[in-house]
Amino acid sequence: MPSITSPILGFGVKNSTTLLAALPPLSLYIHIPWCIKKCPYCDFNSHESKIAIDEKRYIDALIADLDATLPKVWGRRIHTIFFGGGTPSLFSAASINAILNAVRARLVVDHDAEITMEANPGTFESEKFKGYRDAGVNRLSIGIQSFNANHLAALGRVHNDDEAKRAIAIAQECFNNINLDIMFALPTQTFNECAMDVDTALSFDTNHVSIYHLTLEPNTLFYRFPPALPDDDLAADMQEMIHQKLALANYINYETSAYAKLGHESKHNLNYWRFGDYIGIGAGAHGKLSYPDKITREMRYKQPNMFMDHALSDTAIQDSVAVSTNELPFEFMINALRLTDGFTTSLFVERTGLPLTAIARECDAAEEKGLLKRDHLQIAPTAKGRLFLNDLLAMFLRKK
């Protein structure tokens, strides 16, 4: 399951009165849209690779897309890079190396930048992943989803349970910064089967685990033909068990679905959740860029061939709009309130250009309902607020 690497938030209207004293940190998201097989639950911009992928043409398009973006980010450093998909590990190590070399030739990248690649177990080869490491990738996010063969088949995954375990072993030969993506509340999944998946994931002792509740998203096969899923009470029991097991194993639940050992939180995703900036290149990629007087969101063409055609003609961006002042509080909160510790009051002002009074009414109402806690330095969701996060977020959604 893809991590939260390209948040798709509501686009704003084409006006803004935002005034930023300083620009936020900048990340780079690179979208590789192909996969071996489209999973029935996936609503990300991914496309089955039914024919050989023209990696060179896509790389040329990525570079052209980046080149067109450079004037908007002159003088800014890249702190993190994330290859998402699709399945980026379908690309050769030489292709990933070429992309990273092109990025380094055009932008200043921190010497210790976190560079993450999403990978699926069905694409693992030892030498290939050594090549990714040599290219500069220093963090892997592996889409395991389950260690149960029946559940993997129900999810339409191309790997089985043995291949999942083998993939982690290969990854650990090359990388010491690894995330495992796991899902729960799967079709026909029992409490004990969920517990076994968690225990197996913990047995590998990786420094990060992301655990997602399976949801039926529009425009997916599961949405059109819903499978039999655990009821809400069972899913809640699973979630509580997951939290307890990971806490006992010294993982910190620092974000809604993310657990990390101390100091191993995902820097790239933290930049999203703290309303940082990111360039998004590739088919369907979204970007957020701040300027002293506005914040803009961009979206690239989604269909891979259409993206390549447009990018190679310097027109990769399908839509670019400024986020209105009215929408900024919700845009900030939909990210920052995913964090267990919330955010500092100064961060809201720095990243939105708005005073705290802009959210005073909503914060008062959320605090009164027991969904939010705050003082003059920090605002954070309560345990109840994390449980009813959508209700909390809805309180900051304003009419246009």
Per the domain annotation, does 199 fall within a domain?
yes
Per the domain annotation, does 204 fall within a domain?
yes
End-to-end CA, the chain: 33
Per the domain annotation, does 114 fall within a domain?
yes
Match 């690779």 to its residue by tokens: 49
Q: Please, which residues have CB within 8 angstroms of residue 151's CB and are 6 or more apart in sequence?
A: 145, 186, 187, 188, 189, 193, 197
Q: Rounded CA gap, 250 and 332, in Å?
A: 29
Residue 378's domain comprises: 326-400
Per the domain annotation, does 78 fall within a domain?
yes
**Distances in Å between the alpha carbon of 367 and those of 255, 336, 360, 364, 386?**
20, 16, 10, 5, 13
Closest by CA position to 31, among listed 51, 61, 52, 10: 61
250 and 379 inside one domain: no
Closest by CA position to 366, among listed 350, 348, 386, 347: 386
266 and 336 inside one domain: no
Per the domain annotation, does 16 fall within a domain?
no
CATH code of the domain containing 362? 1.10.10.920
Domain end marker among 225, 248, 271: 271
CATH code of the domain containing 82? 3.20.20.70
What is the number of other CB atoms lying within 10 angstroms of the CB of residue 145?
Answer: 27
248 and 331 inside one domain: no
145 neighbors 157 (Cβ within 8 angstroms):
yes
Per the domain annotation, does 344 fall within a domain?
yes
Per the domain annotation, does 100 fall within a domain?
yes
51 and 197 inside one domain: yes
Sign of CA dihedral 394, 326, 266, 48: positive
- Counted domains in the chain: 2
What phi, psi does 314 have (nearest 5°)?
A: 60, 30
Reading the chain (400 residues) residue by residue, the pLDDT tens digits are 333 333 333 333 334 456 899 999 999 999 999 998 888 888 888 888 877 899 999 999 999 999 999 999 999 999 999 999 999 999 999 999 999 999 999 999 999 999 999 999 887 778 889 999 999 999 999 999 999 999 999 998 888 889 999 999 999 999 999 999 999 999 999 999 999 999 999 999 999 999 999 999 998 888 899 999 999 999 999 999 999 999 999 999 999 999 999 999 999 999 999 999 999 999 999 999 999 999 999 999 999 999 999 999 999 999 999 999 999 999 999 999 999 999 999 999 999 999 999 999 999 999 999 999 999 999 999 999 999 999 999 999 987 6
219 and 71 inside one domain: yes
Q: Rounded CA gap, 387 and 301, in Å?
A: 35
100 and 248 inside one domain: yes
Domain end marker among 271, 294, 315: 271
Match 């685990």 to its residue by tokens: 209
Task: Name the pTM for this structure.
Answer: 0.93
Q: Rounded CA gap, 86 and 35, in Å?
A: 5
Tell me which amino acid residue 96 is: I
Whether the bond between 86 and the residue before it is cis, its omega within 30 degrees of 0, is yes
Q: Please, which residues have CB within 8 angstroms of residue 228's CB and are 6 or more apart in sequence?
A: 187, 188
233 and 369 inside one domain: no
264 and 189 inside one domain: yes
187 and 67 inside one domain: yes
Per the domain annotation, does 8 fall within a domain?
no
208 and 335 inside one domain: no
160 and 233 inside one domain: yes
274 neighbors 338 (Cβ within 8 angstroms):
no
340 and 234 inside one domain: no
